[in-house]
């Protein structure tokens, strides 16, 4: 079905207002978009790794979730939803449940790339019929902006602080979407918050309604951690895509598909300079770091183009 913005936006909200996420938080926008992709008649169980989203949306005795919801711990969202999905199969098989349910779990990059990586990998390899959505804001934001393996190179975080002997995080970010694609699951996609959210909405729909395990990696900026004006979120996401820092792609049954190629690839500086966490890169003595940065973005982009050309 063709994407109809008005229709999509008029779907009932499944994350109620009144939760305590920060104004302008990218994770919340991502969650609402993903949940809109559920057919209104379908029920869902939502899982959640410990993180900002969990502690701000289900503070006893209040929950913002219209659907059934389970938070277990930081590192086991994949395994917990594996159990829920298997219980669904068992109850269906035994004639104790008639309704259709879908299973979606959310985790930040800490709970997904790092501490929850094993649990995620297991759930993907076993091919449970669920969607794991990583809202990737590139650091452990809930505990106060510590580096994760999703943190981009040279980012200033509280455990990779910039100082006289440090230019921030020394390593490149882990390419988790590619790692999950290597699990040979039916559907993997990378997206972010762009325009009408068509990209994320359609990928969510595919992820939810493709039988088997699906993984969505959604760049979800954090105004506090990235240090930009909260109102600029859509601009930041656009710069990430236009600079090829955060390409939009899908891996469908092992086939890599590029969803968007900028007409004119913007220099990485355009993405970096809008954020306080990269401020140090624009000191005259750090010019070489920016050159390196661009080389790394180009290398990854070329690699992606190659994968998508096969």
Partner 1 sequence: MSIRERMSGNEAVAYAIKQINPDVMPAFPITPSTEIPQMVSTFIANGEIDTEFIPVESEHSSMSATMGANAAGARALTATSSCGLAYMWELLYVAASDRLPVVLALVNRALTGPININCDHSDSMGARDAGWIQIYAENNQEAYDNFIQTFRIAEHPDVRLPLMACQDGFITSHAVENIELIEDDKVKAFAGEYHPENYLLNPDMPMAVGPYANSPFYMETKMNQRLAMENAKKVILEIADEFEKISGRKYGFFEEYRLEDADYAVVIIGSAAGTTKDAIDELREQGIKAGLLKIRVFRPFPGEEMAKVLSHVKAIAILDRAESFSACGGPIGSELKAALFDFKFSGIAVNYFYGIGGRDYTVAEAKAVYSDLIAYADGSKPVENYKYIGLRK
Binding positions for partner 1, rule: CB under 8 A: 43, 45, 47, 54-55, 58-61, 63, 65-73, 75-76, 78-84, 86-91, 93-94, 96-99, 101, 118-119, 121-122, 125-126
CB of 38 to partner 1, least distance (A): 13
88 or 135, CB closer to partner 1?
88
Residue with Cβ nearer partner 1 (98 or 264) = 98
**154: left (phi > 0), else alpha (psi -120 to 50), else beta?**
left
Phi and psi, residue 307, nearest 5°? -60, -40
Q: Residue 135 Cβ, how far from partner 1 at the closest point, in Å? A: 17
Q: What's the sign of the alpha-carbon dihedral 133, 139, 144, 146?
A: positive
- Closest separation in Å from C-beta 94 to partner 1: 7
Q: How far apart are the first and last CA of the chain?
A: 28
Least distance to partner 1 from the beta carbon of 181, Å? 18
Residue found by looking up tokens 């008029």 in the block = 10
What is the spatial distance between Cα 63 and Cα 67, in angstroms, rounded to a whole number? 10
Nearer to partner 1, 88 or 249 (CB): 88
Closest contact distance (angstroms) between CB of 113 and partner 1 is: 17
Residue number, 117 or 209, with CB nearest to partner 1: 117
**Count of other CB atoms within 10 angstroms of residue 18:** 9
- Residue 75, φ and ψ in degrees, nearest 5: -105, 10
Nearer to partner 1 among residue 22 and residue 70 (C-beta): 70
Distance in Å, CB of 47 to partner 1, minimum: 8
Record the tokens describing residue 71, joined without a space.
Answer: 């938070």
3-state secondary structure of 130: coil
Q: Between 4 and 118, whose beta carbon lies closer to partner 1?
A: 118
Please state the separation of Cα 187 from the chain's center in Å: 14
**CA 125 centroid distance within chain:** 19
């Amino acid at each position: 079905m063709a994407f109809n913005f008005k229709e999509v936006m008029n779907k009932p909200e499944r994350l109620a207002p009144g939760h305590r996420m920060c104004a302008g938080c990218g994770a919340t926008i991502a969650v609402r978009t993903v949940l809109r992709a559920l057919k209104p008649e379908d029920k869902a169980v939502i899982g959640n790794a410990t993180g900002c989203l969990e502690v701000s949306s289900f503070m006893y005795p209040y929950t913002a979730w219209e659907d059934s919801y389970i938070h277990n711990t930081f590192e086991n969202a994949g395994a917990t939803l594996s159990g829920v999905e298997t219980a669904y199969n068992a109850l269906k098989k035994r004639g104790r449940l008639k309704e259709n349910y879908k299973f979606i779990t959310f985790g930040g990059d800490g709970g997904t790339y790092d501490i929850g990586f094993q649990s995620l990998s297991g759930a993907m390899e076993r091919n449970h019929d669920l969607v794991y959505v990583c809202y990737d804001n590139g650091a452990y934001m809930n505990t106060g902006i510590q580096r994760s393996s999703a943190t981009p190179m040279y980012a200033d975080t509280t455990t990779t602080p910039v100082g006289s002997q440090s230019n921030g995080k020394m390593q490149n970010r882990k390419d988790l979407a590619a790692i999950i694609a290597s699990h040979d699951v039916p559907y993997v996609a990378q997206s972010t918050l762009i325009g009408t959210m068509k990209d994320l909405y359609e990928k969510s729909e595919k992820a939810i309604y493709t039988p088997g395990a699906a993984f969505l990696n959604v760049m979800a900026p954090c105004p506090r951690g990235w240090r930009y004006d909260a109102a600029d979120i859509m601009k930041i996401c656009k710069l990430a895509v236009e600079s090829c820092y955060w390409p939009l792609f899908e891996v469908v049954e092992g086939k890599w598909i590029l969803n968007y190629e900028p007409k004119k690839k913007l220099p990485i500086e355009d993405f970096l300079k809008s954020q306080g966490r990269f401020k140090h890169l624009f000191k005259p003595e750090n010019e070489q770091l920016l050159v390196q940065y661009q080389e790394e973005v180009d290398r990854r982009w070329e690699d992606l183009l190659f994968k998508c050309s096969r």
